[in-house]
Amino acid sequence: MRILSKILVCMALLLGGSSSFIALAQTASAASNPAAAFAKSLQGRLASFDYSYSMSGSLPMNGSGSVKLQGNAFTMEGNGLDIRCDGKTRWTVDVVAEECYIENIDAQELDYEANPALLVGALDRAFNYKDSSTASFNGMSVSEIRLVPKKKGSSINEVSLFLTQGNQPAGVNVSSSDGNLITITIRNYKLDNSLDLSAFRLNTKELG
């Protein structure tokens, strides 16, 4: 569950399409800022994509899944888990164990690791812009935007967001304080019209 929490943090970071993320992105000194353009394109939209991840370090692992994110609401399916959140309540279904965990999301607590989708509306409070440069990711030439957490003692040391020349997310690197490196690769990214929040809630009748 811990690794999936960190992955959700990355997903929320990738899709920080809010005014606060634009404010964060605009602290970059570059005249043409891909992070700000990317954030602007997400406002009021539903973003969806498939992902795969690998973690190197003391506990190597890998996995894959799919995500839909709209503001503070999201769904995430992968590695035997079905996670849904409408911005107020989060449902985590362990398909293998046939168990369901229900949690209330308190926007006032801003616990980004426990409630990663909250990052969407508060990136300027959670991260500082470090720098950006041209880099290579998954064989592509990309813009790398590096961010560091404001909170001292965070389990995340640094996050790198990779954007293609068309301002499409290619992936994310997350360096953690325990020496692990999580690399997330994004595929089939697209934007659609927003959905009613009911689409992000779990229908308990589906559990049987």
SS3 category, 40: helix
Structural element, H or E, at residue 124:
helix 123-126
149 closest CA partner among 128, 122, 133, 165: 128
Q: pLDDT tens-digit profile of 180-201?
A: 888 889 899 999 999 999 999 9
Give the residues across from 74 on adjacent strands: 69, 85
Q: pLDDT tens-digit profile of 55-68?
A: 887 778 888 889 88
Residues listed for the chain: 208
Give me the half-sphere count of Cα atoms (radius 13 Å) on the Cβ side of residue 134: 4
Rounded to an integer, what distance in angstroms lies between the CA atom of residue 7 and that of residue 81? Answer: 13
Task: Catalogue the E-assigned strands of 7-154.
Answer: 45-56, 61-70, 73-78, 81-85, 89-94, 99-104, 127-137, 140-149
Rounded to an integer, what distance in angstroms lies between the CA atom of residue 44 and that of residue 195? Answer: 10
Question: Which residues of the chain, if any, have pLDDT below 50?
Answer: 17-19, 29-31, 110, 115-118, 120-121
Question: Beta-carbon neighbour count of residue 14 at 10 Å?
Answer: 28
Give the residues across from 148 on adjacent strands: 128
pTM value surpassing 0.85: no
Q: What does the DSSP 8-state code read for residue 139? A: T
Give the pLDDT of residue 172.
Answer: 86
